[in-house]
Amino acid sequence: MARWLQEMGVKTVAMESTGVYWVPVYEILEDHGMEVVLANARQARAVPGRKSDVSDAQWLQRLPACG
């Protein structure tokens, strides 16, 4: 996955910290030199509106741009 993201030109990845499942993915992406932005799942879910995996992914995509 990390190699594919690099081939696509991705330099920054945003992801939710849910349980312990994010840890190995975070480490692999970081080992490949990517900037990984980790979002608190509780705060990321506080977004108003209808919830879906797609809207969650779009919100996480916007987070690094907002700082």
**Rounded mean pLDDT of 61-65?**
75
> Which pLDDT value is given to residue 6?
95
> Which pLDDT value is given to residue 49?
67
Q: In which region does residue 37 sit, left (phi positive, over 0), alpha (psi from -120 to 50) or beta (all else)?
A: beta
Q: How many domains does the chain have?
A: 1
**Residue 55 CA from chain centroid, whole number:** 13
* CATH number of the domain within which 44 lies: 3.90.25
> Which pLDDT value is given to residue 46?
62
Q: Domain of residue 40: give its range.
A: 2-66
> Which pLDDT value is given to residue 44?
65
Tell me: the pLDDT tens digits for 5-61?
999 999 999 888 878 888 999 999 999 999 998 887 776 666 666 677 787 778 777
